[in-house]
């Protein structure tokens, strides 16, 4: 069986990410309140689209903040304008 060789991925762009230096608890948060610092960083991030393309949160079961959204199991968590988890009326 022939396998394609692994290629190195250039992650040098992460040095320009606005979330660089944030605690992991903010970036890999499970709740909107914990994610607030990372969500705010995404809003001013110069590499937000590159981050989303690299992380591919919808394709990787990602949990945390990526590209200005909070994700859980690769699905965006709906937030209201105040950054709180949106609930549906029963």
Per residue in 31-74, pLDDT tens?
A: 999 999 999 999 999 999 999 999 999 999 999 999 999 999 99
The domain ranges of the chain are: 24-76
Report the predicted TM-score, pTM, of the whole model to 2 decimal places.
0.77
pLDDT at position 71: 97
Q: Which positions ≥6 away from 13 have C-beta within 8 Å?
A: 47, 50, 51, 54
Cβ-contact 65, 71 below 8 angstroms: yes
């Amino acid at each position: 069986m022939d396998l394609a060789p692994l290629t190195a991925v250039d992650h040098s762009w992460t040095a320009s990410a606005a979330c660089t230096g944030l605690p992991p608890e903010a970036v890999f948060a499970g709740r909107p309140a914990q994610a607030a610092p990372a969500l705010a960083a995404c809003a001013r991030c110069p590499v937000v689209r590159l981050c989303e393309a690299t992380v591919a949160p919808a394709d990787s079961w990602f949990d945390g903040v990526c590209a200005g959204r909070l994700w859980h199991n690769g699905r965006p968590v709906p937030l209201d304008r105040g950054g709180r988890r949106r609930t549906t009326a029963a």
